[in-house]
Amino acid sequence: MAKANKRQALGRGLSALLDDSINVNESSNAVVGSVVELSIDQIEINPFQPRTNFNQEAIEDLATSIKTLGVIQPITVRKIDDKSFQLVSGERRLRAAQSVGLTTIPSFVRIADDQESLEMALVENIQREDLDPIEIALSYQRLIDEIGLTQEQMSDRVGKKRSTITNYLRLLRLDPIIQTGMRDGFISMGHGRALVTIESRADQLAVYEKILAKGLSVRATEQLTKENKPTTPKRTPPANPYTESKLNIYKKIFGDKVTIQVNSKGGGQIVVPFSSEKEFQKITKSLQSED
C-alpha cells in the first residue's frame, strides 16, 4: 500500500509537494509570490509570447514525461484578477499538461504589468537552450524596440556578453529566405554570421544556394564570402586649394589622368601615369617643350 502511495505521489510531480490548503478563489492575494496548483481553465495564453515555433514532437516527449512523473518545473503566471491568470512562461509545459488530460498545473504566481510580462517572457525565452538563432535575435530586437533596453542593459538581464547580443542582432540583416533556412536547421548560426558580411541580399542568396547544394562547412562558407566581396577601389584624395588651381594646367600638359595628392602636412606628389613606352616618350617630350 505504501508503494502504491509513493508511485501516485511521484506521478503527480510537483503537485504532490504543494500545499493544497490555499483556496485560490478566496485568497488571491495569498498566492502572489507562491507556487500553487491552478486550474488550467483559469490560465490565459500570453499574448506577448515571443516564441512562434513549437516543435510538436518535443511537446509529445514532454507530455510522456509529465504523464509518468508529473510537472516537475512550475509555469509562471501573472494575476489578472481574483479568478484569472495569464501565462508568462511555460507554454510548452501547459500544452503538454493539457494533452495528457491534466486539469491543474503547478504555477508560480506574480504581479506584473504588460511591459513587465513581455520582458519576463522575452528574457526567459532567450535563456532556453532549444531556440533557433533567429528566434533569439528577434527576442533581443523586441527588448530594444518594445521595452527600450540598451545592449548593455540586455547583457545584464540575460547574462550574455554584449558582443554575443550584437552577433545575434546582425543575423536580422540576412535575407528572410536565409533566416527561414536557419530556423529550419538547413544552416547554422556560423553560416549566418559569414553570410551577413555580404551587403547585397541577392549575393547572400547566391552563396546560400551554394551552401545547400554543396553542403559547405562554416569555414568553406567564410572563404566563399571573402571571395564574393567586391574590391573597393582606392579613392584619390582631393586636391588641396593651393594645388587645385594648377591641376588643369598639368592636365593640359600631361593628360587627364594626372593627379595631385596632398597629405595632412601639406606635402604630396604629382602623379603622371602612363600605359606604354610610347606614352612615356610623349610625356617626356611635353616636359622638354616646357623647358
Residues with catalytic annotation?
91
Is residue 112 a contact partner of residue 120, using CB atoms and an 8 Å limit?
A: yes
The CA distances from residue 263 to 82, 238, 270, in Å, are: 75, 10, 12
Interatomic CA distance for residues 258 and 248, integer angstroms: 9
* DSSP per position, the chain: -HHHHHHHHHHTBGGGGS-TT--TTT-HHHHTTSEEEEEGGGEEPPTT-------HHHHHHHHHHHHHH-B-S-EEEEEEETTEEEEEE-HHHHHHHHHTT-SEEEEEEE---HHHHHHHHHHHHHT-SS--HHHHHHHHHHIIIII---HHHHHHHHT--HHHHHHHHHGGGS-HHHHHHHHTTSS-HHHHHHHTT---HHHHHHHHHHHHHHT--HHHHHHHHHHHSPPPPPPPPPPPHHHHHHHHHHHHHH-TT-EEEE-TTS-EEEE---SSHHHHHHHHHHHHHH-
Nearest CA-CA partner of 237 in 228, 247, 229: 247
* DSSP per position, 40-54: GGGEEPPTT------
